[in-house]
Amino acid sequence: MRGVLLGLGCLVAFSACTPSAAPPPPPAVQAAPAPARPVLGQAPPSDKAGALPVDADTGLVVAEGFELVKGQCTVCHSAKLVIQNRGDEEHWVGLIRWMQKTQGLWPFDEKTEHTIVSYLATHYGAEEGGRRPGLSARLMPPPAPRPLDDAQVQKGKAALGPLKQGLMGTLQKAIQAKGAAGAVDACHLDAPKIAQAASTTVKVGRASERLRNPGNTPPAWAAPLLRSLGQSRDVPYLTADLPGGGLGYVEPIAVGPLCLQCHGTDLAPGVQAELAAKYPDDHATGYAAGDFRGVFWAEVPAG
Amino acid sequence: MTQPPRSRYHKGRRGFLADSGAAAVGTVLGLSVPFARHFPAGLVPVALAAEGLAGKDPGLITLNDRPLNAEVPAHLLDDEITPAHRMFVRNNGIAPATVDPATWTLTIDGEAVNAPVTLTLQELQKRFRAYTYQLTLECGGNGRAEFRPNAKGNQWTTGAVSSAEWTGARLRDVLQAAGVKPNAKYVGYYGADTHLSGNKDKVVISRGVPLAKANQPETLVAWAMNGEAIPALHGAPLRLVAGGFPASASGKWLTRLAVRDRVHDGPKMEGHSYRVPCRPVAPGEDVPDEEMCIIESMPVKSLITFPGSGLVHPAGKPMSLRGHAWAGELAVKQVEVSIDFGATWQRAKLRKAKNRLAWQHFETRVAFPEAGYYEVWARATDARGQSQPMVVPGWNPKGYLNNACHRIAVRVS
């Protein structure tokens, strides 16, 4: 019954649809890697934070009515339009009526509509609030650290030594031997290995908000510290408690004169070609000497 | 003129349905989309049709991917002239898959022209003198996310604003090509974007400006942005640009201008779209259509663009900060900042605008008395003495015109 209704609704709503005469599509549309980009509203709604699973495709909370919402709503528009909004039953019914009146949404039978509306009003319900909501979590500074154990801080700092020296040594050698374009290749192959080799009981790595190597996203604990260090030149390092105990340590990486051959504004054609080949989604050019490039991070275990 | 880059965003995905039926959609998506068998031919499920933000700063925040809407975090709006890769995206429909500047035309018609005329882009560029202005464009719904009860639509926080340099002919010169009758009241635009449903007969959005705004020297029919061809997402190859008005008045992918003898009545001019209650209403109040008034000049506002919110700042050192301020059709006469939630304010250094309707830059230094958590708030005042409120201003059904003070959080330690 529902199928018939739906089919009819679609025919009425989209009878004017005609496929565009565009050239054939790339073979694997869904396999295209999504760039790392923050998306609002993908976290579970606040009232049930973390309590319910979230559908990987859409970001919708998986709960009673989920399949219906995914099936009916995301045919025409993104689930993000649902997730970023909040409202009570009346709010959501109002939206459905508006879509039916003006946007070609098909009619629902009573039970279908009730399921959809309850799902939305339960999991994306109206927000209470006064005259001015507080700043969102992503705009807040990292929490104030506990009194620091200086030995732990020194341990984190020392653990970064081999990583820095390993990277710098490899780069300088490659630039001398093969020029800047050759260094891109060396970095592409060797940098992940160097980070791995430099990790002992203290795990170390690099992270940036403007990535070249997509593997260098920050660990969750380090993300707010990375953001914060990017905004202040005067802080030598920041720390955070690690979720499983232990201390997280980060320090800023400033762009040096040597870095500009591959991260600056005027890149040699050979470097450009090498970057395009190795890092198709590169965001790490356009820097000037002294700019904030990202952080070195270390995870110092407790004890 | 360089050719604008062809859109990399839609071609493949939309073409997908050209050679695969509804059944294939289900196959490609696996079993994760129920009811795939009921999809009509020609409808591309969102999962396969999401538009991309290629070429944009990776820090942009996607609010919606069909239609594409993305805002810019405040700290990425630090440039004095907004570059293309840090410009917010607000699309109502699907941008044209490809545009060809060589064959692009603009038609000027409507009840209030003497003789409708169609001009090619080349004719426009040859026939009319080009002017360049830096023009601030802010989405009417910028700040919507803070209204309670929640307002429907894209939940913009602070990042739906830009101030780029636009180059083109003055709208008033272009309209003279068709001859404007004395009864002209409004200029409506039409663009080449398509409705989400795929229905080619459905106009996505057709707004515009009153004749007085059309006649201002800074209102342009623009073919370049920041000295280059207009990017695909921002209206290539031709865009109406009316700085100081809600950005929706600046029609993208411009194909037609209708000089009307009445207030233009295209989609999103009427009902509650881009309108606020003519008189103040209580939060959540029902407002009949006839009591809603069209938004024209945007209100006074400012943004701290450096540093970004959420930093740790060393105790004992003053902190430098800077940002932009704008006030729709007016100039900004003063910007102040507060580190104590408005108990005290200090004046920032404010520069004059590059030209009318461009945003102004402010900078100052603040000193924190001791370690701890602070918020730095900025408040601009326009030439007529109107300031930004610290709380969210008057509620309205669609959540427009939130010009509450911007603030950043700082931990001093």
Q: Which residues of chain B have pLDDT under 50?
A: 1-50
The domains of chain B, with CATH numbers, are 9-49 (no CATH), 105-294 (3.90.420.10), 301-412 (2.60.40.650)
In order of B323, B331, B387, the CA distances from B384 in angstroms are: 21, 9, 9
Q: Does A234 lie at the interface with B, CB-CB under 8 angstroms?
A: yes
| Contact between A141 and B312 using a beta-carbon 8 Å cutoff | yes
| Contact between B413 and A144 using a beta-carbon 8 Å cutoff | yes
| Contact between A37 and B60 using a beta-carbon 8 Å cutoff | yes
Q: Convert the pLDDT of each residue in A171-203 to its tens digit.
A: 889 988 988 888 888 888 888 889 888 888 999
How buried is residue A166: exposed, middle or buried, by Cβ count under 10 Å (0-12/13-18/19+)?
middle
| Res A148: pLDDT | 78
Interface test with B, best of A75, A287, A291 (most B CBs within 10 A): A75
Beta-strand relationship, B161-170 and B220-225: antiparallel
In the structure, what pLDDT confidence band is assigned to residue A149 with cuts at 50, 70 and 90? confident
| Contact between A13 and B313 using a beta-carbon 8 Å cutoff | no
| Res B16: pLDDT | 32
With tokens 């999809």, the residue in question is B39
**Cα-to-chain-centroid distance, residue B265:** 20
CA-nearest residue of chain A to B200?
A16
Peptide bond into B389 cis (omega under 30): no
| Contact between A25 and B61 using a beta-carbon 8 Å cutoff | no
Q: Does A139 lie at the interface with B, CB-CB under 8 angstroms?
A: yes
In the structure, what pLDDT confidence band is assigned to residue A4 with cuts at 50, 70 and 90? very low
Closest-CA distance of chain A to residue B181, Å: 34
Q: Does A107 lie at the interface with B, CB-CB under 8 angstroms?
A: no
Closest in B201, B310, B373 to A16, CB measured: B201
Interface test with A, best of B48, B63, B312 (most A CBs within 10 A): B312
**Greater model confidence, B112 or A49:** B112
Q: Does A62 lie at the interface with B, CB-CB under 8 angstroms?
A: no
> For residues A206 and A252, what is the distance between their CA atoms, to the nearest angstrom?
10
Average pLDDT over residues A196-222: 93
| Res A50: pLDDT | 54
Give B-chain residues touching A139 at CB under 8 angstroms: 309-310, 408-409
**Which contacts (CB < 8 Å, 24+ apart) does range A107-114 have?**
A107/A5, A107/A9, A108/A5, A108/A72, A109/A1, A109/A2, A109/A5, A112/A2, A112/A68, A112/A72
Give B-chain residues touching A18 at CB under 8 angstroms: 42, 198, 200
Question: SS3 string of chain B?
Answer: CCCCCCCCCCHHHHHHHHHCCHHHHHHHHHHHCCCHHHCCCCCCCHHHHCCCCCCCCCCCEEEEECCEEEECCHHHHCCCCCCHHHCCEECCCECCCCCCCCCCEEEEECCCECCCEEEEHHHHHHHCCEEEEEEEEECCCCCHHHCCCCCCCCCCCCCCEEEEEEEEEEHHHHHHCCCECCCCCEEEEEECCECCCCCCCCCCCCCEEEHHHHCCCCCEEEEEECCEECCHHHCCCCEEECCCCEHHHCCCCEEEEEEECCCCCCCCCCCCCCEEECCCCCCCCCCCHHHEEECCCCCCEEEEEECCCCEEECCCCCEEEEEEEEECCECEEEEEEECCCCCCCEECEECCCCCCCCCEEEEEEECCCCCEEEEEEEEEEECCCCECCCCCCCCCCCCCCCCCCEEEEEEEC
